[in-house]
Amino acid sequence: MGEDGESPKLNHSFLRDYVTEADVISTVEFNQTGDLLATGDKGGRVVIFQREAENVKPHISGEYNVYSTFQSHEPDFDYLKSLEIEEKINKIRWLPQQNAAHFLLSTNDKTIKLWKVSERDRRPEGYNLKDEEGRLKDISTVTSLQVPVLKPTDLMVEVRPRRVFANGHTYHINSISVNSDGETYLSADDLRINMWHLDITDRSFNIVDIKPANMEDLTEVITAAEFHPHHCHLFVYSSSKGTLRLCDMRASALCDKHAKIFEEPEDPGNRSFFSEIISSVSDVKFSHSGRYLLTRDYLTVKVWDLNMEKGPVETYQVHEYLRSKLCSLYENDCIFDKFECVWNSTDSVIMTGAYNSFFRMFDRETGRGVTLEAWRESSKPRAVLRTRRVYTGGRRRRGDVGVDSLDFTKKILHMAWHPAENIIAIAATNNLYIFQDRVNPENQ
Amino acid sequence: MEYKVEAHRIMSISLGKIYNSRVQRGGIKLHKNLLVSLVLRSARQVYLSDYYSGVCLNTQHVEAKEWELMDSNQEKPLTPAPEESLSPSTDCNQNPEVPVVPEDPEVQHTSQAVEDSTDLHSVSSKHQAEEESSSEDSTTDVSLTSSPVTCESQCEAKGAEVSSSDCEADANPATVTEGNSQQPPKAHSCSNRKRTAEKTASNDSPVKRTKVTSSNSSEEEAEEMDTGNVSNLITIFGSSFSGLLTKESSEPEAETEDSDSGSGQICCDQMLKNLNPWSTAIVAF
**E strands within A8-146?**
25-30, 36-41, 45-51, 64-71, 76-78, 83-85, 91-94, 102-107, 112-125
Give the integer Cα–Cα distance in Å for B175 and A116: 54
- Predicted local distance difference test score (pLDDT) of residue A55: 65
Q: How far is A427 from chain B (nearest CA, A)?
A: 22
Amino acid found at A345: S
Between CA A254 and CA A193 the distance in angstroms is 10
Q: What is the ipTM of this complex?
A: 0.87
CB contact under 8 A, B168 and A273: yes
Rounded to whole angstroms, how far apart are CA atoms A27 and A426? 10
Q: List pLDDT tens digits, range B53-98.
A: 655 445 544 444 444 455 455 444 444 444 444 443 333 344 434 3
Task: Write out pLDDT tens, residues A45-103.
Answer: 999 999 987 666 555 667 899 999 999 999 999 888 888 899 999 999 999 999 999 99
Round the average pLDDT of chain A to a whole number and report it. Answer: 90
| A84/B26 CB distance under 8 A | yes
CA distance B29 to B33: 6
> Closest Cα to residue A27, out of A109, A112, A92?
A92
Return d(Cα A98, Cα A92) in angstroms, integer. 18
Q: Give percent helix, percent strand, percent coil of chain B, each to the nearest 5.
A: 70, 0, 30
pLDDT tens digits for A181-195? 999 999 999 999 999
Strand partners, A248: A234
Q: How many residues does chain B have?
A: 285
Radius of gyration of chain B (CA): 19
- The DSSP H or E segment spanning B188 is helix B183-197
Write out pLDDT tens, residues A408-430.
999 999 999 999 999 999 999 99
- State the greatest distance between any 2 C-alpha atoms of chain A, in Å, as a whole number: 91
Strand partners, A68: A48
Cα-based torsion angle of the residue sequence B161, B165, B167, B173 in order, rounded to the nearest 10 degrees:
-60
Residue B52 has pLDDT above 70, yes or no: no
Distance from CA of B229 to the nearest CA of A (A): 10
Which pLDDT tens digit goes with each residue over A158-170?
999 999 999 999 9
- Which residues partner with A93 through β-bridges? A105
Give the model's confidence band at A4: pLDDT under 50 very low, under 70 low, under 90 confident, else very high.
very low
- Residues of A with Cβ-Cβ distance to B35 under 8 angstroms: 240, 276-277, 280, 336
Which of A73, A273, A320 to mutate: most B Cβ within 10 Å? A273
CA-to-CA distance for A236 and A252, rounded, in angstroms? 15
In terms of pTM, does the model score above 0.80? no
pLDDT digits (tens, 9 = 90+) for B252-280: 333 333 334 444 444 444 454 444 333 33
Instruction: Report CB contact under 8 Å: A82, B232.
Output: no
Q: How many CB atoms lie within 10 A of CB B220?
A: 10
Residues recorded for chain A = 444
Amino acid type, A407: D
Cα dist. A248→A259, A261, A357, B192, B206 in Å?
6, 12, 39, 45, 40
In a mutagenesis test of the A interface, which of B165, B178, B223 is the best target, namely the one with the most A β-carbons within 10 Å? B165
Nearest by CB to B42, from A220, A273, A336: name it. A273
Q: Among residues A246, A270, A268, which one has the least CA distance to residue A259?
A: A246
Q: Measured between alpha carbons, how far is A276 from B109 in angstroms, rounded to an integer?
A: 31
β-pair partners for A41: A25
User: B213 or A321: which carries more pLDDT confidence?
Assistant: A321
For residue A268, the 8-state DSSP code is G
Distance CA B87, CA A166 (A): 55
> What is the nearest CA distance from A431 to chain B, expressed in angstroms?
23
What H or E segment, with its residue span, contains residue A244? strand A244-248
Rounded CA separation A436/A134 (Å) = 46
Exposure string for B249-264, b = 16+ CB within 10 A, e = fewer: eebbeebeebeebeeb
Partners of residue A110 in chain B, C-beta under 8 Å: none
Q: Are A209 and A225 in contact (CB under 8 A)?
A: no
Q: Is the pLDDT of residue A141 over 60?
A: yes
Q: What residues have CB less than 8 Å from A439, skipping those under 6 apart?
A: A1, A2
CA distance B2 to chain A (A): 14
Higher pLDDT, B103 or B6: B6
Give contacts of A78 with chain B, Cβ < 8 Å. Answer: 27
